[in-house]
Every structure is written in structure tokens, then in C-alpha cells.
Structure 1
Amino acid sequence: MGKPRESRRLCLVLALVAAALAGCTPRAPSTPPTPSTSTAPLQPPVPPAAEAPLPAPPPPAPPAPEVKLSDPERDDVLFTIWRAKHGGEVDTFAAYLVDQSLADVVPMYQLLRSASMWKECRAEPFEVPPQSEWEKVRDVLILLRDLRQRGVLPTLEVVSAYRDPRLNRCAGGAPGSSHQKFAVDIAPLSPQVGANLCRFWREQGKEWDMGVSRYPSGRIHIDRTGYRTWGASHKRASSYCLGD
């Protein structure tokens, strides 16, 4: 009877020891909670970048110098009024010049100026050359364009061009004046420009079949109906192109 009681006592002791050991087992440290992103403090808004100031507008361009015409009455305003009555023939002539790439050589209102004495002769201030003479117009304009491109005549103003025979007689033109085919009288030139024109005539005028003259008024005549020159006396000896 003594051994069973000792066995129970031993089992009880072992049970108490096991319980004591189980109570001393260390616990794993708890992991601190990760803070939620929703609880992060808000950053202050970034102010928008300041816009760069607009550049100042450029200063206005100076006005173009006023061109003083030798024949201010027969300007583009009078031409516009005249053209309203002669639009069809002017338009056809203008189309021809465009086709020949010559529309920008001389302003149309100058190219169609008739004689300077148009009022005294009761004629039109402007006149379209007959179509039979348009090739002469083309030839003269090609020469004027070449003179401009070479710098011989950097600028020019045509004051008289085609004249019909009646107007030519009334204006005192020579019976065989080349204006009745086509020629131009241009406004007076400075001495240097006039000298350059004469030099061109002497050196290359024959190739161009070029005629040149200066009238007592200072106006310069240019045509392509023969290599020649003359002056106030209508003779070669009076030409200013022979004196340089």
C-alpha cells in the first residue's frame, strides 16, 4: 500500500514543476503597429511658379519717307479714277506684263502716263499703248529692269511714255518720235546717276539698240529703236553723253 501513495506524490510534484516551468516561458515581444499612411501629416501646397513677364513690344517702325513725284498730279489716285472707265484694256495690258514677268519694273500709273502737256492738248492723262506695240513696251521694260539690277538706275520715275500721233504733234514731239511706238521719259537724274547712264550707253548701248537723250528740262529719254543720242538741239553733237 505504500508504493502507490509515493507514486501519486511523485506525479504531483512533477506536475507542479511542469506548470512552474510553463509559466516562466518568455513571450515574444509584440511588434509595434505600423503607422497608417492616412495619418501622415499633410504637406503645405506648393505655390505656382510665377509667370515670366511678357517682353515689351518692339518700337513702331519709322514712317517711310514720302516720295516726291515730279508729276504729283498724275499719281495713283488719279489713275484709279481714270482706270474705272478703262478697266478692261488696262487689265488686259496688266495681264500681258505679268505673263512677261515685267509687272514690277515700273508702277502702272507711271507706265501709262501720256504726254506732260495732256491738259493743254485736251488728252487723257493716261493711255494704254495699242496691242501692236506691246513688244516695244516689253523691250523697254527689260532694259529698265537691267539698268536697275546693275545699279545704273537704282530708282526712276516715268513721267511720259506712249503718245498717240495726235497727242505727239500737239505736245511738240518730233514727227518720227519713238513715243508713238513706245519710249519713256524719266525724271531728272543726279549728275552721278546721269554719268553712270551715259557710261552704260557708251559701253553697252549698241547691244541694246538703245537711244538716250537729255532735254533742257533735265528729263531723260530712253528707247530701244536705235543706238543713238542727242541733246537740246535734237542733234548728236549736243548730247551730254558725249561730253564725259
Structure 2
Amino acid sequence: MVEGSFDEAVDGVDGVFHTASPVFPIGNIQETLLDPAIKGTTNVLKSCAKSSSVKRVVLTSSCSAIRYRHDSTSLSPLNESHWSDLDYCKKYNLWYAYGKTVAEREAWRVAEELGIDLVVVNPSYVVGPLLTPQPSSSLLVIQSLMKGLHPSYPNMAVGFVHIDDVVSTHIVAMEDTRASGRLVCSGDVFHWSEIVELLKAKYPSNNLPDKCDGKEGDSNPHSMDTSKVKALGIQSFKGITEMLDDCILSLQKRGFL
């Protein structure tokens, strides 16, 4: 989070992908989630602005910076013009969404101020095979459900998207000169109760939960408009069955299930 710490890393490169952000706070919310999300993003952008070689920056934001608002159902399909309501996020303790929303807004402010060519990808809930040594935060939820570690599943309605489609969208965002602004990257929206039923049908011997955790604020029915991404050549997204199969097979191969 130290300004200038990315100067050397971005010097001499044509494009920069900034993809990392904390998901769950550990202790102090401001110090462990909000500050890294916001200051980390702005520091990357300021370093890019100092480099004469960087032509474009692609930032991974989230549909969480779009869909958390009281009118998400009536406004659906939600698109790039919509933003999550910070008061809504605070009311329901949706701190990841709060951090992503503030960080993205600040990224746009800094990009405009410093003349940076910024394109933002807004993925929904990313599922698929592991790309890292340890499961990501989103895959840890599926792992815990499959292992019966929790008595309930999340009371959440969310779009799901395969990691392959997220990668393809990032490549297009960087390489296609037509790409601009925000890009919603999401497949169909499901409630976690539907995901659990799909998993039970495929893996009946696993001790999957039968009840919902009842948490409020995250279950509003909605849909996402992906027409902007499709206009750039990504015509279809992989389905939920393929996402879950690829995810679970990867977890099994790595010894996490």
C-alpha cells in the first residue's frame, strides 16, 4: 500500500492487469479489507501513470460494485451504468462490495485525473478450476459445502461465471481497441439453494446443507446485461454445470476434496 511500490514492476510494460483485492476482513475491516482494496488500486494506477510504456490498464472490479442496491430487481438487467449503493452495503455489512465499489470509483477518478486508459472488468461469482496453489475465496465456499463444514448455505442470489470466460474478457479488454469503460462479465444468476440442489443430484453421498443461513441483503433476484462484452466477440458464457464440474474436479485433483 506504499505509493511508488509498483513503479519498477510496471516500468517497460505495455499493459497492466490489476486483479487482486481482499475478500474477507481479518479483524479490523478498514485495515485488512478497505485500505488494501482502495489504496492498492490507486497506487498501481499512479505507478502506471509514471511509466511512458504503459498504454492501458485493466482493473478487475466485480459485479458486487453493481448489484447491491434496493432496486436491483426492478432495474434488472443491471448493466455498466449501475453502481452499488454504499449505504445499502453498510446496512447489511457487505464490506467486500463496499470496498470494491469505492475502489473502482476511485480508480476512475485517478485514471481521469492522470490520463490513464483504463478498462474495468466486472465479473460475478467466479467458478472453475484452480489457477493458484490454494483455492480462492469463492472456491472455498464450494469446498466447505461439499465437505459439510457448515450447517447452512448462503442466502445469496448471484451471477456465476467460469474463470475461462473471465480470462477471455480480460484479454479482450486489454487487446481490443473497442473495449472501454466497464465490462459486465457474468453468466446466469442462481440462488445458492439452487446450487446446493445441483450438487446434491451429482454428489448424493456428500453431506450438503439443507438450510439457508438467513442473512439479509444478498438475496435480491436480479439479472446482468452482458451485451457490451458480447459485442466485443464473447458471444456465450459456459453454463453452471460445467463451472461446478470443473471446479470440483480440480479441487479433487489437488487434494482439497
Establish whether TM, by shorter chain, passes 0.5. no
**Structure with the greater relative contact order (CA < 8 A, sep ≥ 6): 1 or 2?**
2
Larger radius of gyration: 1
TM-score between the two structures when normalised by the length of structure 2: 0.21
Instruction: Decide which structure has greater strand share.
Output: 2
TM-score between the two structures when normalised by the length of structure 1: 0.22
